[in-house]
Amino acid sequence: MNNNIKKTTVYLFTYLLLASMLAPDTAYAMHIMEGFLPLKWSVLWYLLTLPFFAMGLVSINKTVGMNPKLKMLLAFAGAFAFALSALKLPSVTGSCSHPTGVGLGTILFGPVVMTVLGSIVLLFQALLLAHGGLTTLGANAFSMAVAGPLVTWCVYKFSRRAGAPLWLAVFLAAALGDLMTYVITSLQLALAHPDAVGGVMASFSKFTAIFALTQIPLAVSEGLLTVLVFNLLYTYSQDELVELAIIPGEGALVK
Amino acid sequence: MKTKNTYKNILLLLAVIALTVFPLVYVSGAEFGGADGQAEAVIANINPGYQPWFSSIWSPPSGEIESLLFALQGALGAGVICYYLGYKKGKKKAEKD
């Protein structure tokens, strides 16, 4: 039985890996395009992302080592990010963007775990799908897989401590994390391409108008979808949620 | 309890659908191109001399191939999600029996 689960997990991971290899992020994703950051910024964002990536690897090892049962849920969180980042959605600005899907995994496993999963997605997209890029991978990983998850994590912890019900905390965390990803993307572009007259701030407001504004309704959608999936996990996967200390051991209905 | 949850989930889905359809109606006639294409234009505007110094190693040969890969991404992600939920649902039921 245990062996079977192991086998299933291996298949799932292979499946996921293949999925990520084949996964095109949309032509119109939020990722910074290949070659669009000068070398010094490319290097800087790589350096900033690396420590989080390393911590993520340690964290995954620890989580899975302590409880191999959670591997499947980890695959689930990864799959959620894949599926969501495949959804190119229209926005009120008349252009399209897509959610990140890393919020769910962040709430379940912590921010640095999603640094690893998010970076893997971005790497394959850069290599095989011409979305984002190798030179901008560090920057894109920083916005989607470091900054977004960190904000999600903080908002989640803070809301829970402030007494918000689980569904509300999940919604706010996922939505704000999603939005933050695009704010950081705008900032990264502004720092690399300051406006000749207004400097970084003028540039930042131009990029924010494109990325962040488009993203607002999508961030709400991501929040709602994350709550939806959380409800399903609450119904069918309560043991894992208890083990991850998301919900208390006995009963106490949160939603 | 369970039906109440199902009810909530349906409402959540409807809200997402409404959020998605609203822009199509509200700004009908818009191009709905990508946000990053616009960003490229802004960079060209702010920093006219900038030349991307590296280009993608490989890109999907056509829009059709791209949407093929793209649909596959959604399908595989959804596949794993539903596999997990189905597995847990069955397991829960088996434990109850």
- A97 interface with B at CB cutoff 8 Å: yes
DSSP state of A89: E
The mean pLDDT value for B3-20 works out to 90
What ranges in B1-97 are assigned the alpha helix state H? 2-26, 35-46, 63-96
Split at pLDDT 50, 70, 90, the class of B2 is low
pLDDT in tens, A156-194: 999 999 999 999 999 999 999 999 999 999 999 999 999
3-state secondary structure string, A19-54? HHHHCCCCCCCCCCCCCCCCHHHHHHHHHHHHHHHH
pLDDT at A204: 93
The mean pLDDT value for B36-46 works out to 81
Least confident of A24-38, A89-103, B10-24: A24-38
Picking from B31, B36, B54, the nearest residue to A135 by CB comes out as: B54
Question: What average pLDDT does the structure give for chain A?
Answer: 85
A-to-B residue pairs, Cβ atoms closer than 8 angstroms = 213
pTM of the predicted protein model: 0.85
Picking from A30, A34, A231, the nearest residue to B35 by CB comes out as: A30
Residue A95 belongs to what H/E stretch? strand A95-97
Which chain A residue shows the shortest CA-CA distance from B52?
A: A35
Partners of residue B7 in chain A, C-beta under 8 Å: none
Split at pLDDT 50, 70, 90, the class of A130 is confident
Parallel/antiparallel/unpaired status of strands A89-90 and A95-97? antiparallel
Split at pLDDT 50, 70, 90, the class of A28 is very low
Domain ranges of chain A: 31-244
Least confident of A23-27, A39-43, A112-116, A180-184: A23-27
- A53 interface with B at CB cutoff 8 Å: no
Specify the CATH number for A31-244; select among 1.10.1760.20, 2.60.40.1220, 1.20.1330.10, 1.10.101.10.
1.10.1760.20
pLDDT at A211: 84
CB neighbours of B59 closer than 8 A, spacing ≥ 6? A129, A130
What does chain A come to in residues? 255
- A164 interface with B at CB cutoff 8 Å: no
pLDDT at A22: 41
pLDDT at A7: 63
Picking from B9, B23, B38, the nearest residue to A92 by CB comes out as: B23
The mean pLDDT value for A205-226 works out to 91
Which chain A residue shows the shortest CA-CA distance from B57?
A: A127
